[in-house]
Amino acid sequence: MSRNAPPRLWGGGPKGRRGLWLAALAVVLLLWGWFVLGFLEEPSAVDNVRVALLVIGAGSIVLGLAAAVAGLWMLVTRRT
């Protein structure tokens, strides 16, 4: 890329590919967290099992949101 060329946006180069992979991972983590939290309604989800479901489900959703923000940030920001 020459010195005066405009920066690439939306996935040009290795950083863009990483951003796409990170955004895809975010979707998987969000779906997994939602799936795990769905088991909270089960009668067997008591005491330690309930805590484990909450930690795993909420943790996956939080990591998924963080990965989504980071992936989109990598895709949209300017590369100079």
Do residues 74 and 18 touch, judged by C-beta distance below 8 A?
A: yes
DSSP assignment of 34-71:
HHHHGGGGSTT--HHHHHHHHHHHHHHHHHHHHHHHHH
Confidence of residue 64 (pLDDT cuts 50, 70, 90): very high
As a whole number, mean pLDDT of residues 64-75 equals 88
**Which tens digits make up the pLDDT trace of 9-56?**
554 556 567 778 888 899 999 999 999 999 999 998 899 999 999 999
Please give the pLDDT value at position 8.
54
Alpha carbon distance 59, 5 (integer Å): 41
More confident site: 64 or 17: 64
Q: 50 CB contacts (<8 Å, ≥6 apart)?
A: 40
Instruction: Give the residue among 27, 28, 9 at the shortest CA–CA distance from 74.
Output: 9
